[in-house]
Amino acid sequence: MQEEIKNRVSESKLITFDLEDFYPEGNRIELDISQFLFEGMLLKEKDFRASVKNHNWEQYHDSYVALTNINDALVPAWAFMLLTTHLTPITKRVSIGNLEQLEISNFNKVIEDLDVSHYTDKLIIIKGCSNKPIPENTYLQLIQKLQPVVKSLMYGEACSSVPLYKRKSRK
C-alpha cells in the first residue's frame, strides 16, 4: 500500500505575510517644482503664485505625488507647502522627494495603521519576493511592528525560509 503524500507546508500553522497585499494602489507621479520657477531656478513670488494658480491640478487626481527639485534650486519651504495645498484635496498622498521616497512614505502609513493583534503568538513568514516596489525599510518597520506580538518571524518562502526571531518561552 502506497503512503499518501502530505503537503506539510499547507498543513503548518505558518502565516504568510505578503506586503504586496498592502500595496497602496494608484498612480505615482513626480512633480518638479522647477517648472514653476523663473528659468527653472529662481522663485519670483508673484510669478510663482500665478504659475501655481494656473496649473492643471486635476491631472494628479487620485495619485500619489512626489514633489521634486531636479535643478536643486534654492526654494523656500513655503513653496512646497503652497503646491501641497493644491494637491491635498485631490491626491492620495504628497511627499517631498523622488518616487522611492514616496513609496517609503506610503508604506510608513501602511505599517503605522496595521493592526497586528490577530498575529499574537503566531508563526509568521514574511514573503520575500514581490512584483511591486516594496522599499527595504518597510520590511524593517514590519518586523518592529510584529516582533512584540508574534511567536516567531521568518523571511522568504515556506519551503526555504530564513529564521529571524523566535520568542523565548514565557514563564
128-165 pLDDT, tens digit each: 888 888 999 999 999 999 999 999 999 998 778 899 99
53 membership: H or E segment, kind and range? helix 45-54
- Is-above-0.85 flag for pTM? no
Structural domain including 63 reads 28-91
In whole angstroms, give the CA distance from residue 171 to residue 167. Answer: 12
154 and 118 in one domain?
Answer: yes
Q: What's the burial of 113, exposed, middle or buried (CB within 10 Å: 0-12/13-18/19+)? A: exposed
In whole angstroms, give the CA distance from residue 153 to residue 125. Answer: 6
44 and 19 in one domain?
Answer: no
In whole angstroms, give the CA distance from residue 68 to residue 95. Answer: 9
To the nearest 10 degrees (0 to 180), the angle between helices 77-87 and 45-54 is 20
87 and 33 in one domain?
Answer: yes
32 and 20 in one domain?
Answer: no
How far, in Å, are 10, 116, 157 from residue 113 at the CA level? 29, 9, 25
Q: What pLDDT does 151 receive?
A: 96
pLDDT < 50 positions in the chain: 6-10
56 belongs to a structural domain: yes
In whole angstroms, give the CA distance from residue 71 to residue 38. Answer: 12
Domain boundary among the residues 59, 91, 123 is at 91
Domain boundary among the residues 91, 123, 146 is at 91
In whole angstroms, give the CA distance from residue 28 to residue 131. Answer: 16
Q: What pLDDT does 131 receive?
A: 85
Which letter does DSSP use for residue 103 in this model?
H
33 and 83 in one domain?
Answer: yes
DSSP β-bridge partners for residue 165: 153
Q: What pLDDT does 140 receive?
A: 95
17 and 32 in one domain?
Answer: no
Number of domains the chain is built from: 2
Q: What pLDDT does 4 receive?
A: 65
Domain boundary among the residues 91, 125, 142 is at 91
